[in-house]
Amino acid sequence: MTTRGASRDRRRRARALGAAGCILGAVLAGCGTTSTVPRAPGATLTIGTLYAGSGQFAGSSLPELAGLRFWVRWEDRRGGAYVGSLGRRVRLRLVALDDRSSPALAARLYRRLVQVDHVEILVSDFGSVLTAPAIPVAERAQMLLFDQSGTGSAFFLGDNPYLVLCDLPSSAVWPDPLVAFLEAERLDRVAIVYAGNDFDAAQDTTIATALTSAGKAPVANLEVPTATRHYRRLLAPLRARGAQAVIELGYQDNDLAFLPELARYRRDHPWPALRFVFTAFPGQLHALFQAQVGAQALAGTFTYGLPPTVDHRKVTLGLDLTRFSADFAARSHRPVNFLDVAGYTTGVVIEAALRRAGSLSQLALRAALNAVSGHLETLDGVFRIDGAGAQLGERPSVAELFPTGPAGTTLRVVFPPSEATRRPLLVGSAPSQPGDPQT
């Protein structure tokens, strides 16, 4: 049910960029050319972005927008963002349009931000699916796209100076610590279920390739549509193949569907071989998963470890995690999650570009980010990009959800050992001993 190597790379690139190009082609028909020179800033600097106010991606997109909006308001309380080429602060104006989780609508709205709203700074919506339509729009307009969390590896295969990934590494490198963890724990019989989009397919390729190279090819590697909300039919074959580890790679709604179905299945069908379950989004939206999935289905499962679970204490620009969390929570009246952190980090990356760039031209902004790469440290980790604009820093760790009573769980980093705050507790493992690192 899977393909690998060059053929899958071609398919992924076609899905991520080709489809977006087709959407854009329809939008551009009869529209004339796009201005490639943004207007000079006067009293304000306009930042344009999209968000999903409804639909599949709303639960992740809205907090990301909240983090970006927090940065805009924080800077404006200080008189605006400092623009180095002007030697002064400039007020910020945020234009945010609702794409309702629709890539087709997103393509039209990105076009509107450039041509109608004349934004100086262009920021993508959450995730690879809603970032893909922005890439051809930005490239045609010769505008630098501040890609918040569209981590699809296919975006960064070409030579495009108008793209930079701000808040997460490209998805092909996300699972590197996970692969090392599987090896360290000697989990040899691994089953993978992944959604057929570039974000999840790139992770699958990394994991499957590494396991196969080590002589431990996945016992199952199943692709499902991103819209999948029912997984029960897939579980019996995985159990029959003796899977010790099940890795489900999807977006928020995929994980919200998968975890309860797996918990119910395991209650009805003993699965003694299964010791490890991994999904991607509980580490990003812990409170949401706690509320919708419940502690019983979450406890003992694993996920990516990201801020605020991980605290990168050394910060060279912007707020540290403690200050951000306190101020953000005071204004939003809810706990901070990773997507809030990501949106704020986008703002800090924009701030770094504005401070360092010799002018407000789009290529000058990109050159400024090339210059600070590897030296800019934010609450999200070290900002480090390659020549294609792919993020190499800000890498996630492996975290486990430990029970804190009948109705709660807490996230703790368990791998790599240099970052761990507690030892992992796999099904069938001995409980943590006194002296184990934990918080």
**Domain residue ranges of the chain, discontinuous segments joined by +:** 22-172+312-383, 173-310+400-415
Q: Which two tokens stand for residue 274?
A: 């299964």
CATH superfamily of 173-310+400-415: Response regulator (3.40.50.2300)
Measure the CA–CA gap between 246 and 220, rounded to whole angstroms.
Answer: 9
Q: What are the backbone angles phi and psi of residue 194, rounded to the nearest 5°?
A: -135, 145
Q: Which two tokens stand for residue 217?
A: 């090819």
Task: With beta carbons less than 8 A apart as the criterion, state whether 244 and 273 touch.
Answer: yes
Q: What are the backbone angles phi and psi of residue 347, rounded to the nearest 5°?
A: -60, -40
pLDDT of residue 42: 63
Beta bridge partners of 415: 398
Task: With beta carbons less than 8 A apart as the criterion, state whether 94 and 350 touch.
Answer: no
Q: Which two tokens stand for residue 337?
A: 């999650």
Measure the CA–CA gap between 221 and 362, rounded to whole angstroms.
Answer: 42
pLDDT of residue 26: 35
Measure the CA–CA gap between 399 and 171, rounded to whole angstroms.
Answer: 17
C-alpha distances (whole Å) from 18 to each of 69, 133, 326, 360, 389 are 31, 10, 43, 30, 19
Task: Please measure the distance between the N-terminal and C-terminal CA atoms of the chain and give it in whole angstroms.
Answer: 42
pLDDT of residue 428: 55
C-alpha distances (whole Å) from 414 to each of 115, 128, 246, 312, 399 are 48, 27, 18, 16, 5
Q: What are the backbone angles phi and psi of residue 103, rounded to the nearest 5°?
A: -60, -35
pLDDT of residue 427: 73
Interacting residues of 435 by C-beta distance below 8 A, sequence separation 6+: none
Q: Which two tokens stand for residue 174?
A: 């996300």
Beta bridge partners of 220: 191
The one-letter amino acid at 207: I
Residue keyed to tokens 């952190």: 341
173-310+400-415: same fold as 22-172+312-383? yes
3-state secondary structure the chain: CCCCHHHHHHHHHHHHHHHHHHHHHHHHCCCCCCCCCCCCCCCEEEEEEEECCCCCCHHHHHHHHHHHHHHHHHHHHCCCEEECCCCEEEEEEEEEEECCCCHHHHHHHHHHHHHCCCCCEEECCCHHHHHCCHHHHHHHHCCCEEECCCCCHHHHCCCCCCEEECCCCCHHHCCHHHHHHHHHCCCCCEEEEEECCHHHHHHHHHHHHHHHHCCCCCCEEEEECCCCCCCHHHHHHHHHCCCCEEEEECCHHHHHHHHHHHHHHHHHCCCCCCCEEEECCCCCCHHHHHHHCCHHHHCCCEEEECCCCCCCCCCCCCCCHHHHHHHHHHHHCCCCCHHHHHHHHHHHHHHHHHHHCCCCCHHHHHHHHHHHCCCEEECCEEECECCCCCECCCCCEEEEEEECCCCCEEEEEEECCCCCCCCCCCCCCCCCCCCCCCC
**How confident is the prediction along the chain (439 residues), in pLDDT tens digits per residue?**
433 444 444 444 444 444 444 433 333 333 333 333 344 556 899 999 999 999 999 999 999 999 999 999 999 999 999 999 999 999 999 999 999 999 999 999 999 999 999 999 999 999 999 999 999 999 999 999 999 999 999 999 888 999 999 999 999 999 999 999 999 999 999 999 999 998 999 999 999 999 999 999 999 999 999 999 999 999 999 999 999 999 999 999 999 999 999 999 999 999 999 999 999 999 999 999 999 999 999 999 999 999 999 999 999 999 999 999 999 999 999 999 999 999 999 999 999 999 999 999 999 999 999 999 999 999 999 999 999 999 999 999 999 999 998 889 999 999 999 999 999 999 755 444 333 444 3
In the CATH hierarchy, which fold is given to the domain comprising 22-172+312-383?
Rossmann fold (3.40.50)
Beta bridge partners of 200: none
Half-sphere CA count of 353, side-chain side, radius 13 A: 25
